[in-house]
């Protein structure tokens, strides 16, 4: 995984270049997934130390926003109402900001750990730098622009009837996801202190967007399926109603693990497409 040999990490060909790890412009979905999951398993102790603080932030944010989420619809989903409760908008916005901050901290630290080595992130990863702020602002900007574009293209798509509208929105979301995952390589560069332009990220990932997106979706699948199974068991045994905070915490843990795995995919793709300077 790193430039220096280490038996804890899966070994694979990184290529060569004058400034360290050289770029290779061919990606494979299953290889990205395998490398990410292997890294997560082999470095689980480091994932734990770097994930504990973001997990606490994510859990507290979710805990704060849980009442607002339940009251998001004025009439309630059971009554078939789709009218948003304006009183829930503020708490939900605060919740979203808290969660993004926690996931951004996690992403920067894990990307630095994977691409620069263990010495790049010491302790619990709380040595905040300017790059953490820039990464956070970039993540906000990328997510906001993607949401705006999806909202705009959904307006004409919503005029379609029945399943056609749902399929159209899904296709639009996937296309926006491809663009987002390609531009996200610029965020990786920011995280490791080797910034590049959006144009460089776009050109380097030409023809690889669908591969990166599919790998990110596939690597999240095990955690999603595990959470579904746990939820079904909890609902069947009554644990979901008896211990809602425990279920919320389990969901947060699953999301943190999925984020680590997705960062692993993007890191592996970045290493191959752009390379890491020594």
Cα(192)–Cα(21) distance, rounded to whole angstroms? 14
227 lies in a domain?
yes
Looking at residue 164, what is its pLDDT?
A: 86
6 lies in a domain?
no
Looking at residue 84, what is its pLDDT?
A: 59
Q: Structure pTM?
A: 0.84
pLDDT band of residue 19 (cuts 50, 70, 90) is very low
13 lies in a domain?
no
Output the CA torsion sign for 41, 42, 46, 50.
Answer: negative
pLDDT band of residue 5 (cuts 50, 70, 90) is very low
Domains identified in the chain, total number = 1
243 lies in a domain?
yes
Alpha helix (H) residue ranges in 121-208: 130-157, 163-191, 198-204
14 lies in a domain?
no
Asked if 81 and 33 touch (Cβ cutoff 8 Å), the reply is no
- Residue among 66, 33, 56, 24 at smallest CA distance from 217: 33
pLDDT band of residue 48 (cuts 50, 70, 90) is very high
Instruction: For residue 277, give the H/E element and its range.
Output: strand 276-277
Asked if 84 and 73 touch (Cβ cutoff 8 Å), the reply is yes
10 lies in a domain?
no
4 lies in a domain?
no
114 lies in a domain?
yes
Angle at 201 between CA 199 and CA 204, to 5 degrees: 105
End-to-end C-alpha distance for the chain, whole angstroms: 14
Q: Report percent pLDDT > 70 for the chain.
A: 85
Residues 6+ apart with CB under 8 A from 204: 23, 25, 185, 196, 273, 274
Residues 6+ apart with CB under 8 A from 278: 3, 19, 20, 21
3-state DSSP helix/strand/coil percent for the chain, to nearest 5?
A: 75, 5, 25
Looking at residue 161, what is its pLDDT?
A: 76
Residues 6+ apart with CB under 8 A from 55: 102, 252, 253, 256
Domain, as residue range, for 135: 20-30+44-277
Asked if 101 and 109 touch (Cβ cutoff 8 Å), the reply is no
- Cα 138 to chain centroid, rounded: 14
pLDDT average, residue stretch 106-118: 95
Angle at 38 between CA 33 and CA 42, to 5 degrees: 155
């Amino acid at each position: 995984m790193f430039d220096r040999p280490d038996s804890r990490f899966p070994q694979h060909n990184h290529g060569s270049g004058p400034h360290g790890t050289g770029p290779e412009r061919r990606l494979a979905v299953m290889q990205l997934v395998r490398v990410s999951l292997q890294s997560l398993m082999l470095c689980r102790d480091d994932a734990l130390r770097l994930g504990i603080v973001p997990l606490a932030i994510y859990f507290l944010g979710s805990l704060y926003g849980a009442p607002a989420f339940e009251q998001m619809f004025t009439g309630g989903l059971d009554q078939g109402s789709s009218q948003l409760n304006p009183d829930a908008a503020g708490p939900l916005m605060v919740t979203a900001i808290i969660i993004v901050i926690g996931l951004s901290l996690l992403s920067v630290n894990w990307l630095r750990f994977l691409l620069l080595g263990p010495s790049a992130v010491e302790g619990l990863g709380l040595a905040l730098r300017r790059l953490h702020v820039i990464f956070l602002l970039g993540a906000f900007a990328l997510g906001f622009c993607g949401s705006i574009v999806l909202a705009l293209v959904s307006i004409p798509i919503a005029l379609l009837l029945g399943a056609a509208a749902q399929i159209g929105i899904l296709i639009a979301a996937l296309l926006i996801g491809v663009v987002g995952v390609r531009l996200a390589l610029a965020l990786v560069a920011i995280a490791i202190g080797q910034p590049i332009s959006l144009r460089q990220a776009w050109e380097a990932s030409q023809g690889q967007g669908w591969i990166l997106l599919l790998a990110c979706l596939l690597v999240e699948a095990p955690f999603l399926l595990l959470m579904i199974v746990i939820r079904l068991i909890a609902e069947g045994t009554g644990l979901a109603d008896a211990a809602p905070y425990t279920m919320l915490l389990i969901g947060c843990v699953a999301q943190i693990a999925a984020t680590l795995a997705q960062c692993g995919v993007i890191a592996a793709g970045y290493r191959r497409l752009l390379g890491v300077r020594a």
